[in-house]
Structure formats: C-alpha cells, structure tokens
Amino acid sequence: MFILSPSLISGVAALLLFAHIIIRLCSATAKIPGPFVSNFTSLVLKWQELNANRTVYIHELHKKYGPVVRVAPNEVSFTSIAAIKEIYGSGGSGYDKTEFYNLFQVYGKRTMFSTLVKGDHAKRRRMIGDRYANSNVMKAAPLAGIKERSSKFLQYCVESPDRTADVFRG
C-alpha cells in the first residue's frame, strides 16, 4: 500500500517548483527584459490592474527596461511603432488573436473586434469595410456626429471628479 508521507509530498512539491522555475527561465519570454518576478507570475501585474494602476506600472517598466518589456510570464508590452504596426496593423500581421478577445463578444456572437482567426476577420472586413473607409467617414454628416459625440465625451471626462468616465453613459 502506498503511503503519502510528509517528506514524499514535500519532495514532489519541491520537484514541481524546480521544474516550473527551469521551464520559466528557459522560455522564449525569459530573454525579454523585465522584472525578474514576471518570469514566474502575473500576480504583480494583476495587483496593479486591481488597483487601477496597470498603465502607469507598465509605463514605468518601459522607462526602466526600454521599448520591449516582459510584464508577465506570457505577456509582453511593446512601445515601438514598428512592433505596433506588425502586431495590430490592418495591413496584415499574420497573427491570430488570443482568447482574450472572447471578452468582447456581444451576446455570444463575434464582432469584427472579437473575431479570433485572421482569415475570418478578413472575410468580414471585405463585406463591411467600405462603410469605414476614410472617404466615407470624412463625409459631412458622419464627421459632424463623431465631433459632437467626442466633444461631449471629452467634456464629461474633464468634469469627472474622480478621473474616471463611464463610456456607456447615455
């Protein structure tokens, strides 16, 4: 009969911890500059997010480490224009989106923004892309609506006493 002794349990736990450390230190993101603790956990980043300080925290990391920073074991932040164009550019980065974008589904349906697979996104974009073309957006009527709504929103932000703004405010 197999008995779980405290020394066996602690030995297995130590082995698992050691394996986790080795795996994290050998990962592709381990070579990217950033806080040492971000190799192993995203708790610091989650804490900053919980305290509404994520963007300031990441900005400070960029000041310290440069334009590419590891902020969690599997999360990297970029500030270079070239990286932003490569990752988010409409010209075709070649990258599919992660499951993070599932948060932006509307009633369980995918939107242009929440479509994960690049090919599916391209098909949708071809169907409705002309409506968002610069030539259509810059017409007088849509432009007036955009200016009016953005002015109202900016005024709301300025008047907000706690530096927050409800973007869904009617």
pLDDT in tens, 67-97: 999 998 888 899 988 887 777 666 656 677 8
Supply the pTM of this predicted model: 0.50
Q: Tell me the one-letter amino acid at 27.
A: S
Cα distance between the two ends of the chain: 67
Question: pLDDT of 94-147, one tens digit each?
Answer: 677 888 888 999 998 988 888 888 888 888 888 888 877 777 777 777 778 888
Question: pLDDT of 38-60, one tens digit each?
Answer: 888 899 999 999 999 999 999 99
Q: How far is CA 80 from CA 35, 39, 48, 68, 153, in A?
A: 19, 22, 23, 8, 29
pLDDT for the residue numbered 121: 83
Residue 19: inside a domain, yes or no? Answer: no
Closest CA to 122 of 135, 112, 114: 112
Residue 22: inside a domain, yes or no? Answer: no
Residues in the chain: 170
What total number of domains does the chain contain? Answer: 1
Q: What is the rounded distance in angstroms from the CA atom of residue 61 to the CA atom of residue 71?
A: 8
Q: Which domain holds residue 76?
A: 30-90
Residue 119: inside a domain, yes or no? Answer: no
Q: What is the rounded distance in angstroms from the CA atom of residue 92 to the CA atom of residue 65?
A: 28
Residue 48: inside a domain, yes or no? Answer: yes
